[in-house]
Chains A and B, each alone.
Chain A
Amino acid sequence: SQTIHQWPATLVQPVGSPLSLECTVEGTSNPNLYWYRQAAGRGLQLLFYSVGIGQISSEVPQNLSASRPQDRQFILSSKKLLLSDSGFYLCAWSVGVSEQPQHFGDGTRLSIL
Protein backbone atom coordinates (compact mmCIF):
# COMPACT_ATOMS: atom_id res chain seq x y z
CA SER A 1 0.00 0.00 0.00
CA GLN A 2 0.99 3.60 -0.47
CA THR A 3 2.31 5.74 2.36
CA ILE A 4 3.37 9.35 2.62
CA HIS A 5 5.86 10.70 5.10
CA GLN A 6 6.51 14.27 6.13
CA TRP A 7 9.14 15.56 8.48
CA PRO A 8 9.68 17.16 10.83
CA ALA A 9 6.31 17.09 12.59
CA THR A 10 6.97 20.40 14.30
CA LEU A 11 9.53 23.11 13.69
CA VAL A 12 10.31 26.40 15.36
CA GLN A 13 12.47 28.76 13.34
CA PRO A 14 13.62 32.36 13.75
CA VAL A 15 12.65 35.03 11.25
CA GLY A 16 15.15 35.20 8.41
CA SER A 17 16.32 31.60 8.73
CA PRO A 18 16.12 29.08 5.87
CA LEU A 19 13.58 26.27 5.62
CA SER A 20 13.53 22.78 4.19
CA LEU A 21 10.55 20.48 4.62
CA GLU A 22 10.63 17.03 3.08
CA CYS A 23 7.94 14.72 1.85
CA THR A 24 8.34 11.23 0.44
CA VAL A 25 5.84 8.79 -0.97
CA GLU A 26 6.22 5.02 -0.99
CA GLY A 27 4.36 2.30 -2.83
CA THR A 28 3.57 4.17 -6.03
CA SER A 29 5.41 5.64 -9.01
CA ASN A 30 4.91 8.84 -10.99
CA PRO A 31 2.58 10.38 -8.43
CA ASN A 32 1.35 13.94 -8.57
CA LEU A 33 2.68 15.76 -5.52
CA TYR A 34 1.28 18.78 -3.72
CA TRP A 35 2.19 21.25 -0.99
CA TYR A 36 -0.60 22.97 0.94
CA ARG A 37 -0.69 25.43 3.78
CA GLN A 38 -3.48 25.46 6.32
CA ALA A 39 -4.04 28.50 8.51
CA ALA A 40 -5.67 27.90 11.91
CA GLY A 41 -9.38 27.13 11.54
CA ARG A 42 -9.25 27.45 7.77
CA GLY A 43 -9.28 25.31 4.68
CA LEU A 44 -6.27 24.29 2.65
CA GLN A 45 -4.47 26.60 0.27
CA LEU A 46 -2.57 24.96 -2.57
CA LEU A 47 1.00 26.28 -2.78
CA PHE A 48 2.71 24.04 -5.35
CA TYR A 49 2.05 20.94 -7.34
CA SER A 50 4.18 18.68 -9.49
CA VAL A 51 3.29 16.15 -12.16
CA GLY A 52 6.86 14.89 -12.62
CA ILE A 53 10.52 15.23 -11.68
CA GLY A 54 11.66 18.82 -12.04
CA GLN A 55 8.14 20.02 -12.95
CA ILE A 56 6.78 22.52 -10.44
CA SER A 57 3.73 24.74 -10.71
CA SER A 58 3.32 27.58 -8.26
CA GLU A 59 -0.17 28.61 -7.29
CA VAL A 60 0.47 31.72 -5.23
CA PRO A 61 3.33 34.21 -5.17
CA GLN A 62 5.18 33.87 -1.91
CA ASN A 63 8.38 33.49 -0.05
CA LEU A 64 8.53 29.74 -0.65
CA SER A 65 9.77 27.43 -3.38
CA ALA A 66 9.40 23.74 -4.13
CA SER A 67 11.56 21.15 -5.79
CA ARG A 68 11.15 17.55 -6.88
CA PRO A 69 14.61 16.01 -7.18
CA GLN A 70 13.30 12.43 -7.33
CA ASP A 71 10.07 10.83 -8.46
CA ARG A 72 8.69 10.37 -4.95
CA GLN A 73 10.36 13.24 -3.11
CA PHE A 74 8.96 16.74 -2.77
CA ILE A 75 10.73 19.52 -0.88
CA LEU A 76 9.41 22.85 0.32
CA SER A 77 12.04 25.53 0.89
CA SER A 78 12.64 29.11 1.80
CA LYS A 79 15.83 31.15 1.89
CA LYS A 80 14.52 33.59 4.52
CA LEU A 81 11.44 32.89 6.58
CA LEU A 82 8.88 35.57 7.39
CA LEU A 83 6.52 35.68 10.34
CA SER A 84 3.66 35.17 7.91
CA ASP A 85 5.11 31.80 6.89
CA SER A 86 3.89 30.26 10.13
CA GLY A 87 1.28 27.57 9.60
CA PHE A 88 0.53 23.93 9.10
CA TYR A 89 2.13 22.56 5.94
CA LEU A 90 0.71 19.50 4.31
CA CYS A 91 2.08 17.34 1.55
CA ALA A 92 -0.22 15.19 -0.56
CA TRP A 93 -0.02 12.77 -3.46
CA SER A 94 -2.42 11.44 -6.05
CA VAL A 95 -2.19 9.13 -9.00
CA GLY A 96 -1.47 10.95 -12.23
CA VAL A 97 -4.93 10.84 -13.73
CA SER A 98 -7.90 13.09 -13.18
CA GLU A 99 -10.75 12.49 -10.75
CA GLN A 100 -8.67 10.78 -8.12
CA PRO A 101 -8.42 11.75 -4.45
CA GLN A 102 -5.37 13.33 -2.95
CA HIS A 103 -3.88 11.59 0.08
CA PHE A 104 -2.26 13.67 2.77
CA GLY A 105 0.63 13.31 5.15
CA ASP A 106 0.33 14.34 8.78
CA GLY A 107 1.83 17.75 8.22
CA THR A 108 4.50 19.99 9.70
CA ARG A 109 3.55 22.63 12.25
CA LEU A 110 5.88 25.57 11.52
CA SER A 111 6.21 28.40 14.01
CA ILE A 112 8.27 31.47 13.19
CA LEU A 113 9.61 33.52 16.08
Chain B
Amino acid sequence: TQLLEQSPQFLSIQEGENLTVYCNSSSVFSSLQWYRQEPGEGPVLLVTVVTGGEVKKLKRLTFQFGDARKDSSLHITAAQTGDTGLYLCAGRGPSGTYKYIFGTGTRLKVLA
Protein backbone atom coordinates (compact mmCIF):
# COMPACT_ATOMS: atom_id res chain seq x y z
CA THR B 1 0.00 0.00 0.00
CA GLN B 2 1.40 3.39 -0.99
CA LEU B 3 1.44 5.99 1.78
CA LEU B 4 2.23 9.68 1.69
CA GLU B 5 3.23 11.28 4.97
CA GLN B 6 3.13 15.04 5.29
CA SER B 7 4.92 17.10 7.89
CA PRO B 8 4.26 19.10 9.83
CA GLN B 9 0.61 18.26 10.44
CA PHE B 10 -0.12 21.75 11.78
CA LEU B 11 1.76 25.02 11.33
CA SER B 12 0.97 28.44 12.75
CA ILE B 13 3.25 31.30 11.70
CA GLN B 14 3.33 35.07 11.54
CA GLU B 15 2.79 36.92 8.28
CA GLY B 16 6.10 37.46 6.48
CA GLU B 17 7.76 34.28 7.72
CA ASN B 18 8.98 31.48 5.46
CA LEU B 19 7.91 27.85 5.76
CA THR B 20 8.42 24.45 4.18
CA VAL B 21 5.99 21.54 4.04
CA TYR B 22 7.23 18.03 3.30
CA CYS B 23 5.59 15.08 1.58
CA ASN B 24 7.39 11.74 1.93
CA SER B 25 6.87 8.17 0.80
CA SER B 26 8.79 4.95 0.35
CA SER B 27 7.05 4.49 -3.02
CA VAL B 28 7.95 5.95 -6.39
CA PHE B 29 5.32 8.13 -8.06
CA SER B 30 5.00 8.92 -11.74
CA SER B 31 3.87 12.44 -10.86
CA LEU B 32 3.03 14.42 -7.77
CA GLN B 33 0.52 17.19 -7.23
CA TRP B 34 -0.05 19.81 -4.57
CA TYR B 35 -3.54 21.05 -3.70
CA ARG B 36 -4.88 23.73 -1.38
CA GLN B 37 -8.23 23.36 0.31
CA GLU B 38 -10.26 26.12 1.94
CA PRO B 39 -12.85 25.33 4.65
CA GLY B 40 -16.11 24.02 3.18
CA GLU B 41 -14.67 23.60 -0.30
CA GLY B 42 -12.98 20.93 -2.38
CA PRO B 43 -9.21 20.92 -3.01
CA VAL B 44 -7.86 23.07 -5.83
CA LEU B 45 -4.78 22.07 -7.80
CA LEU B 46 -1.70 24.28 -7.36
CA VAL B 47 0.94 22.42 -9.35
CA THR B 48 1.98 19.09 -10.89
CA VAL B 49 5.61 17.91 -10.97
CA VAL B 50 6.63 15.00 -13.13
CA THR B 51 10.42 14.77 -13.47
CA GLY B 52 12.76 13.82 -10.62
CA GLY B 53 14.51 16.95 -9.34
CA GLU B 54 11.96 19.24 -10.99
CA VAL B 55 11.40 22.65 -9.42
CA LYS B 56 8.35 24.79 -10.16
CA LYS B 57 7.55 28.25 -8.89
CA LEU B 58 4.14 29.81 -8.49
CA LYS B 59 4.67 33.38 -7.28
CA ARG B 60 5.86 32.95 -3.64
CA LEU B 61 5.41 29.16 -3.70
CA THR B 62 8.25 26.85 -4.75
CA PHE B 63 7.60 23.14 -5.34
CA GLN B 64 10.28 20.49 -5.69
CA PHE B 65 10.03 16.82 -6.67
CA GLY B 66 12.72 14.60 -5.17
CA ASP B 67 15.35 13.08 -7.45
CA ALA B 68 14.01 9.58 -6.81
CA ARG B 69 10.38 10.75 -7.20
CA LYS B 70 9.51 9.53 -3.70
CA ASP B 71 9.19 12.89 -1.97
CA SER B 72 8.32 16.52 -2.52
CA SER B 73 8.43 19.85 -0.73
CA LEU B 74 6.46 23.07 -0.82
CA HIS B 75 8.23 26.25 0.29
CA ILE B 76 6.34 29.49 0.86
CA THR B 77 8.30 32.73 1.02
CA ALA B 78 6.94 35.66 3.03
CA ALA B 79 3.68 33.99 3.95
CA GLN B 80 0.47 36.01 3.76
CA THR B 81 -2.84 35.50 5.57
CA GLY B 82 -4.33 34.42 2.23
CA ASP B 83 -2.04 31.37 2.28
CA THR B 84 -4.02 29.95 5.20
CA GLY B 85 -5.55 26.59 4.35
CA LEU B 86 -5.04 22.84 4.17
CA TYR B 87 -2.24 21.76 1.85
CA LEU B 88 -2.41 18.27 0.36
CA CYS B 89 0.08 16.38 -1.76
CA ALA B 90 -1.13 13.61 -4.07
CA GLY B 91 0.99 11.01 -5.80
CA ARG B 92 0.09 9.12 -8.90
CA GLY B 93 1.16 5.50 -9.31
CA PRO B 94 2.90 3.96 -12.32
CA SER B 95 2.00 5.24 -15.77
CA GLY B 96 -1.29 3.73 -16.87
CA THR B 97 -2.91 3.83 -13.45
CA TYR B 98 -5.58 6.37 -12.69
CA LYS B 99 -5.43 6.40 -8.92
CA TYR B 100 -4.03 9.15 -6.76
CA ILE B 101 -2.83 8.65 -3.19
CA PHE B 102 -3.33 11.73 -1.05
CA GLY B 103 -1.11 12.76 1.80
CA THR B 104 -2.30 13.29 5.34
CA GLY B 105 -2.40 17.09 4.92
CA THR B 106 -0.74 20.12 6.50
CA ARG B 107 -2.99 22.71 8.05
CA LEU B 108 -1.38 26.15 7.78
CA LYS B 109 -2.52 29.24 9.63
CA VAL B 110 -0.85 32.55 8.87
CA LEU B 111 -1.42 35.21 11.52
CA ALA B 112 -1.55 38.93 10.74
**A and B found bound together:** no
| Residue positions of A touching B, CB distance < 8 A | none
